Amino acid sequence: MHRILEAKPLSEFRVWIRFENGAEGEVNLSELVGEGVFAAWNDPDFFAKVAVDPETHTLAWPGGIDLCPDALFDDLETARRDRPGKANTESATT
């Protein structure tokens, strides 16, 4: 399981994240906004409360909302492969 060490909220439902292996980049979470528990993200101030859970190393928001770090890592790697030189990511193997 990948571990997120740092996260910073960005505009338009994006979050910059850094993993324990040095991989880092932006994930776009806009597709989740308004769906189920993610309806809370309609409030930009709430979305900006993203943090790294110190026990599980997931992206987390108040109220028990969290996202799997493995899925986020895969999203970063996919973006890197699909848009070489344009994605704000580093390879997990470097």
pTM to 2 decimals? Answer: 0.82
pLDDT of residue 89: 42
In this structure, are residues 17 and 4 in contact, taking their beta carbons and an 8 Å threshold?
yes
CA 26 to chain centre: 7
Count of all residues that appear for the chain in the document:
94
**CATH label, 4-82, candidates 3.40.50.1950, 3.50.50.60, 3.40.50.410, 3.30.2020.10:** 3.30.2020.10
pLDDT value, residue 94: 33
CA dihedral 71, 36, 7, 45 (to 10 degrees): 160
pLDDT in tens, 13-60: 999 999 999 999 999 999 999 999 999 999 999 999 999 999 999 999
Residues 6+ apart with CB under 8 A from 63: 37, 40
**73 CB neighbour count, 10 Å cutoff:** 22
Domain ranges of the chain: 4-82
